[in-house]
Amino acid sequence: MSSNKLNYKIINLTALFLLLYLTVSNIGLWIGIGSKILSICSPFIVAFVFAYAFTPIVNFLIKKKVKRTLACTIIIVGLLLLVSGILAITLPMVYEQIGLLVKMLLEAFNTVITKYDINLLGYETEIKNFLSSIATSVGNLASTTTTDIVVSSIDFIGKFIVGFVSFIYFLADMNKIRTFFRKLFKNKYERFYNYLKILDKEVTNYIGGMGLFMAIQCVEYCLLFLLIGHPNWFILGLLAGVTNIVPYFGGIFTNIVAIVTASVVSTPLLISTIIVFIVFSQIDCYLISPKVYGKTNNVSPLVTIMVVSIGGSLFGILGVVISLPIFLLIRETYLFYRNDLKTSMNSLKETIKE
């Protein structure tokens, strides 16, 4: 009698495998749709991340008897003044050093090609033209005002305005958002609430650690390159800080640029640059980074490279940036629900045996 009954576990399992097949067979379509949605939502995502990162500062000011509205205003105005001041001070220097950097790269390329008689199958002309076009573009940028550059990018302005307004609202309401989710899950779904708390700690640690590490790297390498007399000390210091958003690959890119440009100037500068990166990359890796990030975000270099490569292949630059934090969330999710997954797999095995 029981043999005539429908086995709903088998039906559900078949439906699951069918869904997985349809998903995998149309992976290109889903990636395209995901990329489009991500592009549309990116201003809101960035705004939420910034608001999330600055909320601890707002809470600190509130503890010091500053009203929430005034605390948010201090953060917003302070950020505007800081960014405006940095742009006003650094843009002329950035333009000048980028132009010098490209010219030095072009000179180094010509020297290597001529000295070692390297045949790039005709691509050397294209590479020279590419570097020359960059130098020309930088020169044109330097001769225009910052306002002209920004006005020419309507799409950027639109996304910036949307993102900035969203940042203000998110920052003002972040505690309400957190309270809403705490009330929603804590009483009815306490275990899920504990899971969200773990994710919250992981993301906060990553964002705060990354911001602090980028600032340290920027100041550290600006001073180091200035001390050894590298003509591109400022732009290389900025690169060392900013490219930390891409683990390992960003540092490698900065190393290559610094070494190539130093080789054009002099042999002593080249040796000094190599020593700087050999010595201080080890200090950054084994001393500064563990102190900044703590133990919760530790990921092996091989896993990091694989994660960043996969993220870049699927979603381009944005995928490279968000791949590591997404991996951290997936890792913590697996660790939290590991026993549940084992129980489900055992149950699935028993179902298949039946």
3-state SS string over the chain?
Answer: CHHHCCCHHHHHHHHHHHHHHHHHHCHHHHHHHHHHHHHHHHHHHHHHHHHHHHHHHHHHHHHCCCCHHHHHHHHHHHHHHHHHHHHHHHHHHHHHHHHHHHHHHHHHHHHHHHHHCCCCCCHHHHHHHHHHHHHHHHHHHHCCCHHHHHHCCHHHHHHHHHHHHHHHHHHHHHHHHHHHHHHHHHCCCHHHHHHHHHHHHHHHHHHHHHHHHHHHHHHHHHHHHHHHCCCCHHHHHHHHHHHHHCCCHHHHHHHHHHHHHHHHHCHHHHHHHHHHHHHHHHHHHHHHHHHHHCCCCCCCHHHHHHHHHHHHHHHHHHHHHHHHHHHHHHHHHHHHCHHHHHHHHHHHHHHHHC
Residue 103 C-beta-side C-alpha neighbours within 13 Å: 12
Closest among 228, 219, 305, 238 to 262, alpha carbons compared: 228
Torsion angles phi and psi, residue 88, rounded to 5: -65, -35
The CA distance from 87 to 145, in Å, is 12
Q: In sequence order, what are the residues at sequence separation of 6 or more whose Cβ sits closer than 8 angstroms to the Cβ of residue 331?
A: none
pTM value?
0.59
CA 128 to chain centre: 30
In order of 208, 247, 346, the CA distances from 251 in angstroms are: 19, 7, 44
CB 328 within 8 A of CB 297: yes
Measure the CA–CA gap between 24 and 250, rounded to whole angstroms.
Answer: 32
pLDDT at 227: 92
Contact 157, 150 (CB under 8 A): yes
In angstroms, rounded to a whole number, what is the distance separating the alpha carbons of residues 310 and 304? 10
For residue 18, the model assigns a pLDDT of 78
Q: What is the pLDDT along the chain (354 residues), one digit of tens a residue?
A: 445 555 556 666 677 777 777 777 776 677 777 777 777 887 888 888 888 888 888 888 888 888 888 988 998 888 888 777 766 766 666 666 666 666 666 676 667 666 666 555 555 566 666 666 655 655 555 454 444 544 455 666 777 788 888 888 888 888 888 888 777 777 777 778 888 888 887 877 787 778 788 888 888 998 999 999 888 788 888 888 888 777 666 777 788 778 877 877 788 888 888 888 888 887 877 777 767 766 556 666 677 778 777 877 776 666 777 778 888 888 888 888 887 777 766 665 665 555
